[in-house]
């Protein structure tokens, strides 16, 4: 849990009980490139490859999906409590 204490890290858990969500299509990473993240690029991951998306309208689509995931995930506090509870049960 030490990593979750770092100021630049936010940890939220999306429980299995969450409603249908935009993360169901697979993993992606939004990268800010350059000073002040002047360029945003999305890396889309699949089982056999990854590819990069840099078209602004497509990047916006992924950014909106990410914000929706944050909204339906447990809060940082509740996520931490769940992890601590699960660790105590080990």
What are the residue ranges spanned by the domains of the chain? 26-88
In this prediction, residue 37 carries a pLDDT of 76
In this prediction, residue 77 carries a pLDDT of 93
In this prediction, residue 22 carries a pLDDT of 64
Q: Give the predicted TM-score (pTM) of the model.
A: 0.79
Sign, Cα dihedral of 31, 6, 88, 85: negative
Indicate the burial class of 83 (C-beta count within 10 angstroms; 0-12, 13-18, 19 or more). middle
Lookup result for tokens 């935009």:
22
List CB contacts of 76: < 8 A, sequence separation 6 or more. 4, 10, 11, 12
CB distance 41 to 52 below 8 Å: yes
From first to last of the 90 residues of the chain, give the pLDDT tens digit: 678 788 888 999 988 887 776 666 788 999 988 888 788 999 999 889 999 999 999 999 999 999 999 999 999 999 999 999 999 999
Rounded Cα gap, residues 81 and 90, in angstroms: 15
In this prediction, residue 15 carries a pLDDT of 84
């Amino acid at each position: 849990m030490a990593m979750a204490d770092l100021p630049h890290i936010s940890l939220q858990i999306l429980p299995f009980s969450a409603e249908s969500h935009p993360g169901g299509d697979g993993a992606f990473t939004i990268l800010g490139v350059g000073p002040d993240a002047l360029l945003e690029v999305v890396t889309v991951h699949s089982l056999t490859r990854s590819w990069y998306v840099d078209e602004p309208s497509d990047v916006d689509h992924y950014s909106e999906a990410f914000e929706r995931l944050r909204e339906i995930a447990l809060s940082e506090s509740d996520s931490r409590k769940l992890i601590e509870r699960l660790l105590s049960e080990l």
